[in-house]
Structure 1
Amino acid sequence: MTNERRVLVHPDKASLAGAVAARFITKTLDILDAQPVAHIVLTGGTMGASVLEAVASSPAHTSVDWSRVHFWWGDERWVPAGDAERNDGQSRAALLDRLDLPAENVHPFPASDSGISLDEAADVYATELAAHGVDGLTHPVFDITFLGAGPDGHVASLFPHRSGIQVTDRTVIPVRNSPKPPPERLSLTRPVLNASQRIWIVLAGADKASALGLALAGASRDEVPVAGIKGRRRTVFFVDREAAAEVPEELIAPDY
């Protein structure tokens, strides 16, 4: 089993989204050829939605048996169901609502209007993860985990100089006083993310260049959380040319 970090650079956001979408379809087909189901973690943000929209617009997406794919999220904003800020809503609009998916294959975080507290919501999602755990794990083995990263290097809702990135004894944490609105959120923890077989981090824009450069240069995960994220088999940074501005040439892969 290999454990690699690669950086793949694309000319612009549109070509980046299209390339990631094509690889996602191909890799999902490969995964389903080797095992009965696939577990995928989705992310929010502009690029997260753009990739899913590119999947939906690709004729090749119909070749995937989506009924065998389970979708999860790396984090969520603690806002009401249906709020435009929710990551799951963005993902549904971009792709999931266009697929013939069994309802039980979609695993959104609880919403703020669900009648439970933020702490209880973290426990609810932890229970959901555990229900799909295998080999004694308290969570599924995620086949592909999509993530973005903020200009500050935060990943999911694990922020710099906050305790969340250090939590190792929980699968889901409540997040309060987030430096990025809204202030309350839910997030998977670093050990759960790092248990993923493949982590695909999709970044675009000049404002991401510094965080990416620091992460690849070995920055502390407490200062640049994305630096502490690494999949079991492979970690790929799919980036556009602007985001790659501070990546050393020797770390850029010619192909994947």
Structure 2
Amino acid sequence: MAAAACRVSVFPSPQELGPALAQLVAERAAAAATGGGGGRFSLGLSGGSLVGILSRDLPPAAVGPAAPAGWLVAFCDERLVPPEHPESTLGAYKAQLLPRLPGPGPRVLALTPGLAPAAAAEDYAAQLRQAFPDEDIPVFDLLVLGIGPDGHTCSLFPGHPLLQEKEKIVAAITDSPKPPPERITLTLPVLNAARMVVFVATGEGKAAVLKRILEGEEENPLPAARVRPHSGQLRWFLDEAAAKELTIPLEKHSIL
């Protein structure tokens, strides 16, 4: 991936990264609220460690024009487990973030419980099409994505056939190499249609894969390296531990 294709911001630790990420979300929300998009801010969220980061730092930033009343929140992937299950992304955000946002809260698109994988994917795709009625492929204002040590993002895994999906906006996966095996995920056409995508990665365990993604020119790119918005912006928010092997130009941020 060419360095000029994205901006890479590096922070001393997750504690400094979190407020900057929250400020970015708030800025994009305020821009959507005051722009020509009818006042709605569409936000796609991944789970994992992002839940804790956003839950800690986003609520104080979500005020004024960035208030959540005008947000549409969807999840970039979801495990096929009940909302109360510890692996549920919806459950994690309902427990940690959503109660802390100033009311009235956002509209949240949630997985319909109890459906088989293919039906769950079709149901979630139908929800998205209803929420984005004028777009063949939903165009999110902002997607906040994580990345695994193997280079996966959402539930798009290295070498998996879903990386070639061109038609579906939501796909089912029944053989996830990371448990639980049954999931749904946004596909690359949706990720690459977004107005902005920001990847968040922290910790030394991500350093090697980030070097491959951001500096490598691989014949068969890792899933996260395939996320390159066609007309939108691509950002990376890293801590110093995750960025330690990178030699490309970096925007380094000091402790405030």
How does the TM-score come out when normalised to structure 2? 0.89
- Residue in 2 that maps onto 1:186: 184
Please report how far the alpha carbon of residue 213 of structure 1 lies from its aligned counterpart in structure 2 after TM superposition: 1.1
SS in structure 2 at match of 1:168: coil
- Residue in 1 that maps onto 2:99: 97
Whether the aligned pair in 2 keeps the contact of 1:39 and 1:69 (CA below 8 Å) is yes
Q: Tell me which moved more, 183-192 or 220-229.
A: 220-229
Q: Give 1:27's aligned amino acid.
A: R
- Residue in 2 that maps onto 1:27: 28
- Residue in 1 that maps onto 2:76: 74
- Residue in 1 that maps onto 2:246: 247
* 1:78/1:222 CA distance change after superposition, 3 Å: farther
Please report how far the alpha carbon of residue 102 of structure 1 lies from its aligned counterpart in structure 2 after TM superposition: 5.6
- Residue in 1 that maps onto 2:169: 171
SS in structure 1 at match of 2:74: strand
Mapping 1:216-235, distance limit 5 Å: 216-220=214-218, 222-231=220-229, 232-235=231-234
Task: Please state if 1:127 is matched with 2:126.
Answer: yes
SS in structure 1 at match of 2:207: helix
Unaligned runs of 5+ in 1: none
Whether the aligned pair in 2 keeps the contact of 1:165 and 1:221 (CA below 8 Å) is no
Q: 1:42 aligns with which of 33, 45, 48?
A: 45
SS in structure 1 at match of 2:189: helix
Task: Please state if 1:211 is matched with 2:209.
Answer: yes
Please report how far the alpha carbon of residue 26 of structure 1 lies from its aligned counterpart in structure 2 after TM superposition: 2.3
RMSD of the alignment, in Å? 1.9
Find the aligned partners of 2:186 and 2:41 in 1 and give their Cα distance.
Answer: 18
Q: 1:55 aligns with which of 55, 58, 63?
A: 58
SS in structure 1 at match of 2:95: helix
- Residue in 1 that maps onto 2:6: 5
Identity of aligned residues (%): 31
Please report how far the alpha carbon of residue 247 of structure 1 lies from its aligned counterpart in structure 2 after TM superposition: 1.7
Find the aligned partners of 2:75 and 2:119 in 1 and give their Cα distance.
Answer: 17
SS in structure 1 at match of 2:251: coil
- What per-residue deviation string (whole Å, max 9, x for no partner) do you get for residues 221-246 of structure 1? 85511000023321100000011012
Whether the aligned pair in 1 keeps the contact of 2:149 and 2:206 (CA below 8 Å) is yes
How does the TM-score come out when normalised to structure 1? 0.89
- What per-residue deviation string (whole Å, max 9, x for no partner) do you get for residues 96-145 of structure 1? 12332467x1002233xx2x211100000111111122544243x20000
Q: 1:65 aligns with which of 64, 67, 71?
A: 67
* 1:189/1:168 CA distance change after superposition, 3 Å: same
- Residue in 2 that maps onto 1:88: 90
SS in structure 1 at match of 2:111: coil
* 1:80/1:50 CA distance change after superposition, 3 Å: same
Please report how far the alpha carbon of residue 219 of structure 1 lies from its aligned counterpart in structure 2 after TM superposition: 4.2
Find the aligned partners of 1:221 and 1:27 in 2 and give their Cα distance.
Answer: 34
SS in structure 1 at match of 2:73: strand
Whether the aligned pair in 2 keeps the contact of 1:48 and 1:148 (CA below 8 Å) is no
Find the aligned partners of 1:149 and 1:219 in 2 and give their Cα distance.
Answer: 18
Whether the aligned pair in 2 keeps the contact of 1:129 and 1:138 (CA below 8 Å) is no
Unaligned runs of 5+ in 2: none
Q: 1:195 aligns with which of 172, 181, 193?
A: 193
Please report how far the alpha carbon of residue 62 of structure 1 lies from its aligned counterpart in structure 2 after TM superposition: 2.6
State how many pairs are aligned: 245
